[in-house]
């Protein structure tokens, strides 16, 4: 990138350099109003599903939802909230607005977005909501995708996710054959000393490349984790198993692209 950096503004270059070095960035939400609106929707839909009064303090309600729901009924709640969240016509636009500028800097300004936003709810001491160490590209995702991961409560300690910084990740992935690891648990124990556990107060969002290893463990904190994730990629970057129109849809296509895609040279007799 060194020959191109003169085309970047200083703030863009700083963001890009951090992402290239670490494989992730944590930034303040670019639209706190949109973030709060989604959080409030999650809280209100959850209260309605559980036949509870609409909460006044949305974040505290989400943090302590384990006092209202048990592990056995958690997945039904999660699916109901996902459905309601994705049926709202404004949710995906608001989600994008929490990191619009950063996504344009890191990914591009002609973008495709995942059709549905995913939701994770991780109760304290619940081992049914684990995501063992992995990189999404190992299971058919395009290496050109960036994940926008949004917490709706303060995530920290075992209540958050972990990520392997890009430089360390490249070293381990290059050695994967010689390490001869037999399970995700063995891989986790191998990389554990180099993992970063992300402390993200509410009001901030995480963007990361799913090419690096990441995951979570049993939440041993006294509060519940609520987070959503959604993938973005440049419309014209290569796709893998998850195709445009099936998993992604274009959300920003510039006029020059629309004109160029529809242009036909005049026929010559």
pLDDT at 253 over 90: yes
pLDDT band at 203 (very low <50, low <70, confident <90, very high): very high
Q: Look at residue 265 and tell me if it is in a domain.
A: no
pLDDT for the residue numbered 102: 98
Average pLDDT of the residues in 9-26: 95
Q: How does DSSP assign the chain, residue by residue?
A: -TTTGGGS-HHHHHHHHHHHHHSEEEEE-S-HHHHHHHHHHHHHHHHHHTT-PPPSSHHHHHHTGGGT--HHHHHHHHHHHHHHHHHSTTHHHHHHHTSHHHHHHHT-SSEEEESS-EEEEE-TT--SS---SB-GGGGT--TT-EEEEEESS-B-GGGS-EE--HHHHHHHHHTHHHHT--SHHHHHHHHGGG-EE--B-TTEEEEEETTS-EE-----SSS-EEEEEEEEEETTSPP-SS-BTTTEEES---HHHHHHHH--PPP--
Q: Look at residue 219 and tell me if it is in a domain.
A: yes
DSSP strand pairing (248-250 vs 214-215) = unpaired
CA 106/CA 98 separation, integer angstroms: 14
Range of the domain at 129: 9-236
Summary mean pLDDT of the chain: 95
pLDDT at 157 over 70: yes
Average pLDDT of the residues in 39-63: 98
Q: Look at residue 247 and tell me if it is in a domain.
A: no
Average pLDDT of the residues in 155-182: 93
Q: Nearest Cα to 121, choosing from 190, 42, 10, 32?
A: 42
When divided into structural domains, the chain yields a total of: 1
For the segment 116-134, what is each residue's pLDDT rounded down to a tens digit?
999 999 999 999 888 899 9
pLDDT band at 3 (very low <50, low <70, confident <90, very high): low
pLDDT at 252 over 70: yes
Tokens for 224? Answer: 């519940």
CATH code at position 38? 2.60.120.620
Average pLDDT of the residues in 7-13: 90
pLDDT at 236 over 60: yes
pLDDT band at 182 (very low <50, low <70, confident <90, very high): confident
Q: Residues 6 or more apart from 194 whose CB is under 8 A from it?
A: 164, 165, 168, 172
pLDDT for the residue numbered 128: 86
pLDDT for the residue numbered 108: 96
């Amino acid at each position: 990138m060194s020959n191109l950096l003169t085309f970047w503004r200083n703030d863009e270059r700083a963001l890009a350099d951090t992402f290239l070095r670490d494989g992730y960035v944590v930034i303040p939400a670019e639209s706190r109003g949109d973030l709060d609106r989604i959080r409030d929707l999650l809280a209100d839909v959850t209260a309605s599903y559980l036949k509870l009064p609409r909460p006044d303090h949305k974040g505290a309600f989400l943090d302590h939802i384990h006092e209202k729901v048990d592990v056995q009924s958690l997945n039904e709640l999660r699916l109901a909230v996902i459905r309601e969240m994705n049926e709202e016509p404004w949710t995906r636009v608001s989600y994008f607005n929490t990191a619009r500028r950063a996504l344009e800097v890191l990914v591009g300004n002609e973008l495709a977005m995942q059709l549905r936003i995913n939701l994770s709810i991780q109760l304290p001491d619940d081992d049914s909501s684990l995501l063992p160490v992995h990189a999404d590209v190992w299971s058919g995702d395009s290496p050109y995708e960036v994940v926008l991961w949004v917490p709706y409560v303060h995530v920290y300690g075992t209540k958050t996710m972990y990520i392997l910084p890009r430089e360390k990740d490249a070293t381990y992935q290059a050695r994967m054959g010689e390490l001869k690891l037999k399970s995700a648990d063995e891989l986790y124990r191998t990389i554990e000393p180099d993992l970063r556990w992300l402390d993200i107060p509410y009001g901030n969002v995480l963007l990361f490349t799913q090419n690096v290893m990441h995951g979570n463990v049993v939440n041993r904190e006294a509060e519940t984790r609520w987070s959503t994730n959604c993938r973005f990629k440049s419309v014209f970057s290569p796709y893998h198993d998850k195709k445009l129109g099936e998993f992604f849809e274009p959300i920003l296509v510039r006029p020059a692209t629309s004109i160029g895609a529809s242009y036909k040279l005049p026929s010559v007799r």
